[in-house]
Chains A and B, each alone.
Chain A
Amino acid sequence: MFRAAVRLSVSGARSLTRTQPRCQAPLASRCYSHGKQETDEEFDARWITYFNKPDIDAWELRKGMNTLIGYDLVPEPKILEAVLRACRRLNDLASAIRILEAVKDKAGPHKDIYPYVIQELRPILSELGISTPEELGLDKM
C-alpha cells in the first residue's frame, strides 16, 4: 500500500493527467495510476482461501483477523463464514463472538450493515451454535 503511494508521487503530474485514478468505494481497492488493481472478488477469494486452510493455527487466525479489521472495509459475510469455521476448528468460541463484535464496530455509523451481515451468517451461526453478542448481552455495559 505504501508502494502505491510512492509510485503515485514519483510518477508526478504527468501520469495523473493521462489516466484517471479509479477509486471504488465501499470495498477495498488500491488507487494506482497504473498497474493491476485487485478486484473485490479477488480480495474476497484471497481471504476466504486464507481462513479455509484446514490446519490453520491460532496465530494465523489472530493475524488474519487483526489485519482484516485494519482495512477500511467491512468484511463480506463469505469471508466471515470462513473465519467462523476456522474458529470452530480451533475450538475457540470466544474469538468467534469477538469477531462479530468487531464487524459491528467496523460498520461505524452505518447501522444497517451489521444486521445484514448477521442475517447472511444465520445459517452458519445456527450450524455451529455461535450466539451473537446481542443474544449474550455483551452489547450492553
Chain B
Amino acid sequence: MLRLTSSRLGSLLAGRPTAALTFSIKGRAASQQSHEVSEAVDMSRSMYYDRVDMPLPDKPYKDVLSEAEQKLKQKEKGPWSQLTNEEKVALYRLKFCQSYAEMRAPSGEWKTVLGGMLFFLGFTGLVVWWQRIYVYPPNPRTLEDDWKAMQLQRMLDMRINPVEGVSAKWDYDKGQWK
C-alpha cells in the first residue's frame, strides 16, 4: 500500500496528477493503520483535484453521501428543469470542491512575501550594525585623514599615473587640482 503524507501532497499536485499513481479501485474501504501525526493519503486510489486545465477530476469531491444527498442524486436522474437553483449548486458542490472563480481568486500571498522579505532585510541591517560596533577591529592607521593626505602627496611626488590618472589631474604649477 502506498502512502503519502499530506505535506508532500501539495508539491505532487503542483505537477501533473496523471503522472501520480491514480488507479481507481472500487469498493475498497479507507483504512488507516497506525495513528500518525499527519494524515496519510492512499496513493493507490483516484484522487480529487481542482485544476483549471483539467475540469473533470477522476472522482467526485464527496463520495460518501448522506440520505438527503442520495435523494438529490436520484432527483438528478430526472429532468433538470425541476431542480431548484439551490439543488443545482448542492449537486455542484457534491462533485467539486472549488469553483473556477475560487480557484482563480488572488490570494494576497505577495504581501506576506514582500513584508517578510523587507523584515528580514531590516533585521540583517541591525545585525550588521551591531557587528560594526562590537565585532569589527579598529580601523587601520592608513585610513586616517592625515595619513591619506601624506599618501596622496607622495603619489603626486612620484608622478603616479601622469597621463590619465591622479597626477594628470593635479596642476603642479599652481599646487592644486585642475
Tell me if A98 counts as interface (CB < 8 A to partner B): yes
A138-B89 in contact given A93-B76, A101-B100 (Cβ < 8 Å):
yes
* A contact residues around B38 at 8 Å (CB): none
How many residues on chain A are close to B (CB under 8 Å)?
31
* A contact residues around B35 at 8 Å (CB): none
CB contact between A66 and one of B54, B81, B99 (< 8 Å): that residue: B54
Enumerate B80-121 residues with CB–CB distance to A below 8 Å.
80-83, 85, 88-89, 91-92, 94-96, 99-102, 104-105
Tell me if B165 counts as interface (CB < 8 A to partner A): no
* A contact residues around B60 at 8 Å (CB): 94
- Cα-based distance from A95 to B96 in the complex (angstroms): 9
CB contact between B83 and one of A69, A88, A129, A141 (< 8 Å): that residue: A129
Q: Is the CB of B81 within 8 A of A129?
A: yes
In this complex, which of A65, A95, A140 has the most chain B Cβ atoms within 10 angstroms of its Cβ? Answer: A95
* A contact residues around B101 at 8 Å (CB): 101, 133, 138-141
Q: What 0/1 pattern do residues 117 to 135 of A give for CB contact below 8 A with B? A: 0000000000011110101
Tell me if A49 counts as interface (CB < 8 A to partner B): no
- Cα-based distance from A10 to B58 in the complex (angstroms): 38
Q: How far is the CB of B22 from chain A (nearest CB, A)?
A: 12
Tell me if A73 counts as interface (CB < 8 A to partner B): no
Q: Is the CB of B102 within 8 A of A95?
A: no
Q: Is the CB of A94 within 8 A of B94?
A: yes
Residues of A bordering B, CB below 8 Å = 61-62, 65-66, 69-70, 88, 91-95, 97-99, 101-102, 104-105, 128-131, 133, 135-141
Residues of B bordering A, CB below 8 Å = 52-58, 60, 76-77, 79-83, 85, 88-89, 91-92, 94-96, 99-102, 104-105
A-B contact pairs, 27 of them (CB 8 A): A66-B54, A66-B56, A69-B53, A91-B76, A91-B77, A92-B76, A93-B83, A93-B88, A93-B91, A94-B91, A98-B96, A99-B55, A101-B55, A101-B101, A104-B100, A128-B81, A129-B81, A129-B82, A129-B83, A133-B99, A133-B100, A136-B85, A136-B88, A137-B89, A139-B99, A139-B100, A141-B102
